[in-house]
Amino acid sequence: MTSPSRNLEVQPEALTAFAAASRDRAGQFRELHRLFRDGHVARHAFGVMPASFSLAAAYEQQFEACLEGLEDGAEVMATIAEGLRDTAEAYTGTDVANTDMFNPGA
């Protein structure tokens, strides 16, 4: 699909394919989140030495930050997928409407 000025060519199929890949990446982020969460090390594993308390606290803080990052990554990928899908549909809808307007019955 080419714009009237011929300076822009849009391929809705490519946008749709990229949206599908982004949806897949969102699923991969969710799976990583699940696997990472399942690998959590409990507080008692750090022992009872005084230094272990700060180590366990630092671990917990970093662990939660990683989980949050994976969750955010999944959300971003899902949002990208939705936006690309909507964009592809808008281009296709506009192209169909323009064809119908200028070539009735085509």
Q: If DSSP states are collapsed to H, E and C, what string results for the chain?
A: CECCCCCCECCHHHHHHHHHHHHHHHHHHHHHHHHHHHCCCCHHHHCCCHHHHHHHHHHHHHHHHHHHHHHHHHHHHHHHHHHHHHHHHHHHHHHHHHHHHHCCCC
CA distance 39 to 63: 10
In a domain? residue 76: yes
In a domain? residue 77: yes
In a domain? residue 47: no
pLDDT at 3 over 80: no
CA distances 80 to 17, 48, 50, 64, Å, are 12, 46, 46, 24
Tallying the residues shown for the chain, one arrives at 106
pLDDT at 13 over 80: yes
In a domain? residue 32: yes
pLDDT at 104 over 90: no
pLDDT at 99 over 60: yes
What does pTM read for this prediction?
Answer: 0.77
In a domain? residue 4: no
For 82, the domain range is: 14-39+56-95
- Tally of domains in the chain: 1
Q: Provide φ and ψ at 49, rounded to 5°.
A: -65, 150
In a domain? residue 5: no
- From the CA atom positions of the chain, what is the Rg in Å? 24
In a domain? residue 84: yes
Q: How confident is the model at residue 1 (pLDDT cuts 50, 70, 90)?
A: low
In a domain? residue 28: yes
